[in-house]
A and B are shown apart, each in its own frame.
Chain A
Amino acid sequence: MSIFRFFSKQSSAPTARERLQVLLAHERASVGQSDLVAILREEILAVIAKHVQVDREKVSVKMDRGEHVTTLEVDIEIPMKAGVRAA
């Protein structure tokens, strides 16, 4: 191999390293988050159940990882006839 290659061509390992670091940071976080979402969902369900009757299937909890902030979206469908106590 020519010694000039050292200077003319960039080696590929640093790129590999960088890509891996970004990817794994993401994958590790998302493994933890799916657990977090499941826990949040259960606890939110429990809190709501104290006050109104809702269908488990009608409660959706989603997490969206943005670049700077992560948003948690909670969508609960409460049926009209649900026993919500008037204030």
Chain B
Amino acid sequence: MAKVVVVTSGKGGVGKTTSTAALGAALAQRNEKTVVVDFDVGLRNLDLVMGAERRVVYDIVNVIQGDAKLPQALIRDKRLETLFLLPASQTRDKDALTPEGVERVMDELKKHFDWIICDSPAGIERGATLAMRHADVAVIVTNPEVSSVRDSDRIIGLLDSKTERAERGDRVEKHLLLTRYDAARAERGDMLKVDDVLEILSIPLIGIVPESAEVLKASNLGAPVTLADSRSAPAIAYLDAARRLAGETLPITIPGEKRGLFGKIFGRRAA
């Protein structure tokens, strides 16, 4: 049975697209048929991060408007045959994404895939609400920083009211993905701690992705970070998060905790 996952945040630039690509690839690496869907109409980027930008012919708006069939718009990944991309269009008309159209596309995707990962645009407007509309599961991407946490709280409110599940009295399963976590700054006490964010948002944690140059490197190469170098710290964090998404239970490690005694003592000081 297909699972629809929305990767969302409210705030822009926190790592939704990076996370969509990384989690999508990680799930596909488990041999489960996965499609990543770009809902950021007008500002598509998932194609670039996936390294498929030169292979885009049709997009989700073409499918909705009947100019192309879904299989024509789907792009199969060159590295993983279980991974597909449905690109967004670069059209400036955001209304091109209609609720009925999105529903039709989702219904069809559900017939063919195990995982449908929706990359939400920033904000709380139409694009973001349509991206979350059909979700069974939400991954709320948050940076340990005040405005990101506040916006995540807003998004959680929308997930509890504006989704199809919420409207039929059901609930969307929500997971917090903390990204761009900087161990050194956390140790100095100048960044919200994992426990602070968890306490404030009170949703379960699915992973902590460290701030890392590997992410930029992977996007330069056009590869999800889990495929670019599966041994790098952010890749490991995403691979583990994907396993949790698939229902496995494994302990969460805070990046950069493998320090000397000195670091440990001071790292715990503010606890």
Contacts and interface: CB of A to CB of B under 8 A. Distances in A.
Interface of A: 1, 3, 5-6, 10-14, 16-17, 19-21, 23-24, 27-28, 31
A13 B200 contact: no
A13 B269 contact: no
A1 B146 contact: no
Interface in B129-155: 145-146, 149-150, 153-154
B51 interface: no
A16 B192 contact: yes
A27 B200 CA distance: 13
Contact of B270 (A3, A14, A16, A20): A14
A42 to B, nearest CB: 18
B153 to A, nearest CB: 5
Given A1-B188, A11-B190, A27-B153, A17 B196 contact: yes
Given A21-B200, A24-B200, A28-B157, A13 B270 contact: yes
Question: What are the 10 closest A-B residue pairs judged by CB atoms, nearest first?
Answer: A11-B189, A17-B196, A13-B189, A16-B146, A12-B190, A24-B153, A13-B192, A16-B192, A20-B200, A11-B190
B191 interface: yes
23 contacts: A3-B266, A6-B269, A10-B189, A11-B189, A11-B190, A12-B189, A13-B186, A13-B189, A13-B190, A13-B191, A13-B192, A13-B193, A16-B146, A17-B193, A19-B146, A20-B192, A21-B200, A24-B153, A24-B200, A27-B150, A27-B153, A28-B153, A31-B157
Interface in B175-219: 186, 188-193, 196, 200
B188 A11 contact: yes
B172 to A, nearest CB: 17
A24 B190 CA distance: 20
Contacts, number: 47
Given A11-B270, A31-B157, A17 B150 contact: no
A9 to B, nearest CB: 9
B190 A20 contact: no
Interface string B146-169: 100110011001000000000000
A5 B270 CA distance: 13
A16 B266 CA distance: 20
B112 to A, nearest CB: 38
B188 to A, nearest CB: 6
A28 B270 CA distance: 28
Contacts of A3: 266
Nearest to A3: B266
Contacts of A6: 266, 269
A13 B146 CA distance: 9
A13 B196 contact: yes
Given A13-B196, A28-B157, A20 B146 contact: yes
Contact of A20 (B150, B186, B266): B150
B202 to A, nearest CB: 10
A5 B196 CA distance: 22
A14 B154 CA distance: 22
A53 to B, nearest CB: 35
A16 B145 CA distance: 8
Given A10-B189, A28-B153, A31-B157, 6 more contacts: A5-B188, A11-B189, A11-B270, A16-B145, A16-B192, A20-B150
